[in-house]
Structure 1
Amino acid sequence: MGQLALNNLSKSYGANHVLQDISLSVKEGEFVSIVGPSGSGKSTIFQLIGGLYTPDAGTISLDGKVLNDSRGHISYMPQSPALFPWRTVLQNVELSSEIAGTKFDRSKTMELIKSAGLSGFEDAYPSELSGGMKQRVSFIRSLNAPQSIICLDEPFSALDEFTRLEMQQWLLSIWETYKKSILFITHDIDEALFLSDRIVVLSDKPAVVKEELIVPFGRPRSEELLLSDPFLTLKREIYNLLRG
Structure 2
Amino acid sequence: MAKLNIDHVNKSFGDNLVLKDLAFDVKEEEFVSIIGPSGSGKSTLFHLIGGLYEPDDGMIQLDGKRINGQKGAISYMPQSPSLLPWRTLLENVVLGAEIHGKMEEKTAKSMIQKAGLSGFEHSYPHELSGGMQQRASFIRSLLSPQSLICLDEPFSALDEFTRLEMQKWLLDTWEQHQRSILFITHNIEEALYLSDRIILLSDRPATVQREFKVPFTRPRDPSIVLTEEFLKMKQTIHSELKVLL
Scaled by the length of structure 1, the TM-score of the pair is 0.97
1:52 maps to 52
> Do 1:2 and 1:181's aligned partners in 2 also have CA atoms closer than 8 Å?
no
> Do 2:60 and 2:67's aligned partners in 1 also have CA atoms closer than 8 Å?
yes
**CA shift digits 1:113-144 (9 cap, x unpaired):** 11211111110111111110000000000001
- Is 1:19 the counterpart of 2:19? The answer is yes
- Is 1:3 the counterpart of 2:6? The answer is no
Q: Give, in angstroms, the shift of residue 199 of structure 1.
A: 0.3
Superposition pairs of residues 1-244 of structure 1, within 5 angstroms: 3-99=3-99, 101-244=100-243
Q: Give, in angstroms, the shift of residue 106 of structure 1.
A: 1.7
| CA–CA distance in structure 2, aligned partners of residues 98 and 145 of structure 1 | 8
Q: Which amino acid aligns with 1:157?
A: S
For structure 2, the residue ranges without an aligned partner over 5 or more in a row are none
> Do 1:79 and 1:155's aligned partners in 2 also have CA atoms closer than 8 Å?
yes
> Do 1:151 and 1:183's aligned partners in 2 also have CA atoms closer than 8 Å?
yes
| CA–CA distance in structure 2, aligned partners of residues 2 and 182 of structure 1 | 12
Q: Give, in angstroms, the shift of residue 163 of structure 1.
A: 0.6
> Do 2:104 and 2:143's aligned partners in 1 also have CA atoms closer than 8 Å?
no
| CA–CA distance in structure 2, aligned partners of residues 170 and 226 of structure 1 | 16
Q: Give, in angstroms, the shift of residue 105 of structure 1.
A: 2.3
> Do 2:2 and 2:25's aligned partners in 1 also have CA atoms closer than 8 Å?
no
| CA–CA distance in structure 2, aligned partners of residues 103 and 96 of structure 1 | 9
Q: Give, in angstroms, the shift of residue 98 of structure 1.
A: 2.3
Q: Give, in angstroms, the shift of residue 12 of structure 1.
A: 0.6
**CA shift digits 1:37-66 (9 cap, x unpaired):** 000000111000000000011100011111
The range that moved more, 61-70 or 167-176, is: 61-70
The range that moved more, 224-233 or 188-197, is: 224-233
| CA–CA distance in structure 1, aligned partners of residues 218 and 34 of structure 2 | 20
| CA–CA distance in structure 2, aligned partners of residues 229 and 180 of structure 1 | 30
Q: Which runs of 4+ in 1 moved over 2 A?
A: none
Q: Which amino acid aligns with 1:167?
A: M
SS in 2 for 1:112: helix
Scaled by the length of structure 2, the TM-score of the pair is 0.97
Q: Give, in angstroms, the shift of residue 205 of structure 1.
A: 0.3
Q: Which amino acid aligns with 1:132?
A: G
> Do 1:2 and 1:180's aligned partners in 2 also have CA atoms closer than 8 Å?
no
Q: Give, in angstroms, the shift of residue 221 of structure 1.
A: 1.2
SS in 1 for 2:10: strand
| CA–CA distance in structure 1, aligned partners of residues 18 and 2 of structure 2 | 26
SS in 2 for 1:103: coil
Aligned residues: 243
| CA–CA distance in structure 2, aligned partners of residues 35 and 86 of structure 1 | 35
> Do 1:199 and 1:212's aligned partners in 2 also have CA atoms closer than 8 Å?
yes
**CA shift digits 1:62-89 (9 cap, x unpaired):** 1111111111110000000001111100
